[in-house]
Structure formats: structure tokens, C-alpha cells
Amino acid sequence: MRTINVALRQEKNKLDSSGVFLQLLQIRIDNDETLYLVPNPAPVTFAGQTYTPFGCKVDNVQHDLRGGLEEVEVKVSNVTREISAYVELHDLRGAAVKLLTVNSLHLADPTAIVWELDFEVTEINVKDDLVAFRLGHERLLQQRIPAQRYLRNNCRWKYKSPECGYAGGLPTCDKILEGDNGCRAHANVRRFGAFPGMPSGGGRILG
């Protein structure tokens, strides 16, 4: 559980305060796009990210009898049909959602977070004027554990990614160590993302 810093604790305990607690909503559409929304009349910038004013309401976050988090419903305005368009274009079931609770008087402090909760979209209900997202938790039995595959001959890094580190002019890579278009031909052996020392037994996987 996150420990609330002293400034936020003092703000919470005040009988009268000019600050308000804000719920920041992050909905990851895909690897390239995330919606940053806040139910506030004006934009809010926190930790270098600007959240767009938007009509949305987050249900109270509650714990079950075992101390776990129950599902939460988030209602987002759909008057402009903008949100339903996202739902139609993208498969948002399973999309990652992050809820942050901050205080308007402490936005300059990126550590001043009351709650930071991670969910995924489990259900979507589109109505005329709103879209209701049911938020739950990751289905652990559907996750790959470990998250990466450790192969003997096939590099697991995406070509030219930060992990790969290659910044030269060759347009492709076979993602193997040897060969005319392998990692050695790219002079990038030290960043090879496979494990040649593993016992043999698996075939080569291209990707």
C-alpha cells in the first residue's frame, strides 16, 4: 500500500481547504495512444502529463472481505460520440487502465499521489450519451509467465529497439547470431538477445 506523504495527509485532515482531490484517468488505447482524462473544468498537468477535461465519473473504490479491490465502473461522457468511436475502432476489452488520485494544490510534486491503482477493462456498455467501462484486474491464468521467451538461437528483442541497440543502416535482421544477416554481421553481438549456451532442443523461430 502506498504511504501518503505528509503534505497530502495534512491536506486531507484539514476542515477547510482551497484544494480538491482529483481523479486522473489513463486508458491505454494501443501501444501508441493513451487517453488522459480528468473530471475537471480545466486541464490538469501532473508528472509532466496533461490530462484533458472530460465528463467522467469513477465509482468509489472498495475492498472486498479479503482485502482485494472490487470491480469499479467508470462512466465517460459520449455526447460527442468520441468515446464510442474509440470503442468501435479498437478492441478495448483487456485494455490497461490506471487511476490516480492527486490534490490540486500539490500537482508540482510527482510523488504526491493518494492512490495509484491498475485495472483492465472487463466490460463495455455503450449508451447514447455515455460509455460505461467495468474495470477489473488482470486474469493471471491468461498471462504468459515468464513474460518473455528465452530461446537458444532466436533474439527476443525487436529490431532497432533500445534493447537491440542497433542504429546502423541495415534495414532488416534475421534475429539469429550467425549468417549473412545475423547479429554478428551487424557488429552487434554484445546485444544479442538469445542464449546460445542453452541446451539444444528447440527449433529456430523467425519473428
Confidence class for position 14, pLDDT limits 50, 70, 90: low
- Per-residue model confidence as pLDDT tens digits over 49-106: 999 999 988 887 665 555 455 688 999 998 888 888 888 888 788 889 999 989 888 8
**What does pLDDT average to over the chain?**
80
d(CA 76, CA 10): 31
Closest by Cα among 80, 73, 78, 124 to 99:
73
What does the chain look like in DSSP terms, one character per residue?
-PPPPHHHHHHHH-SS-S--EEEEEEEEEETTEEEEEESSSS-EEETTEEEEE--EEEPPP-B-TTSPBPPEEEEEE-TTSHHHHHHHHS--TT-EEEEEEEEGGGTT-TT--SEEEEEEEEEEEE-SSEEEEEEE---GGGS-SSSS---SSS--SPTTSTTT---SS-----SSSSSTTSTTTTT-GGG--S-TTSPS-------
Confidence class for position 1, pLDDT limits 50, 70, 90: very low
- 36 pLDDT more than 80: yes
Residue type, 72: V
- Per-residue model confidence as pLDDT tens digits over 122-143: 999 988 789 999 998 755 444 4
- 43 pLDDT more than 70: yes
Domains defined along the chain, listed by start: 6-142 (2.40.10), 146-196 (no CATH)
* pTM of the entire predicted model: 0.57
| pLDDT of 20 | 84
| pLDDT of 200 | 62
What number is the average pLDDT over the span 34-46? 93
Confidence class for position 44, pLDDT limits 50, 70, 90: very high
- 206 pLDDT more than 60: no
| pLDDT of 167 | 92
d(CA 153, CA 197): 9
What number is the average pLDDT over the span 106-117? 86
What number is the average pLDDT over the span 149-156? 77
Closest by Cα among 53, 44, 104 to 76:
53
105's grid cell: 494544490
Give the count of beta carbons closer than 10 Å to the beta carbon of residue 22: 19
Confidence class for position 111, pLDDT limits 50, 70, 90: confident
| pLDDT of 19 | 73
| pLDDT of 115 | 81
